[in-house]
Amino acid sequence: MQLSQKERTLLEDQKAHEELCIKKYNNYSNQAKDPQLKQLFQNHAQKEQEHLKSINQILGGQVPNIQQGQQQQQQFQSPSIGQSGMVDQQEADLCQDMLSTEKYVSQSYDTAIFECKDTNVRKVLNHIQSEEQQHGEQIFNYMQSKGMYNIH
């Protein structure tokens, strides 16, 4: 498979985004005090590693095999804000940063998808984008369950 210069540039951007997500999720997992949040960040770091592998395969001229299985959604119970009734501001900041990052990364996949000429590459990128959206949803659900994100 031969990539155009534009495709290569967009994929290199996505590669950098995935590398940053891996670093942030691993770093934030180490900072999280809540075991549930720590696990959520660790799971997302592993998924981002898979995304990076797929992007590297495409950049190497191969179309990766994507697994069609849906990532299991993590459910969070309604507000359990902690014993003191206070939101942990550091964890709220970590979550807000990752939610913003996932929004940005998902948007950038949208552009890359529309600029790829190979249908199979589009399918892989679409699959990755869907998983990025799931990450955002899981972070949102966690935040909402902990009183960090309120919809008015």
Give residue-wise pLDDT tens across range 60-85: 999 998 765 444 555 554 444 444 45
- How confident is the model over 94-106, as pLDDT tens digits? 999 999 999 999 9
Buried/exposed 89-127: b ≥16 CB within 10 Å, e otherwise: eebeebbeebbebbeebbebbeebbeebeeeebeebbbb
As for how many domains the chain has, the answer is 1
Backbone angle region of 25, left / alpha / beta, with phi > 0 → left and psi within -120 to 50 → alpha: alpha
> Cα dihedral sign for 7, 49, 138, 101?
negative
Q: Is residue 45 part of a domain?
A: no
**Which CATH number does the domain housing residue 135 bear?**
1.20.58
CA dihedral 135→138→142→145, nearest 10 degrees, is: 160
Residue numbers of the domain that contains 20:
1-31+95-147
Lowest mean pLDDT among 9-18, 39-48, 72-81, 137-146: 72-81
CA–CA–CA angle 95, 12, 99 (5° rounding): 10
Residue 138, in any domain of the structure:
yes
Asked, for residue 77, whether it belongs to a domain, the answer is no
| DSSP three-state, residue 68 | coil
Amino acid at 90: Q
Q: Is residue 79 part of a domain?
A: no
Q: Is residue 103 part of a domain?
A: yes
- Please indicate, yes or no, if residue 52 is contained in any of the structural domains: no
pLDDT, position 68: 54
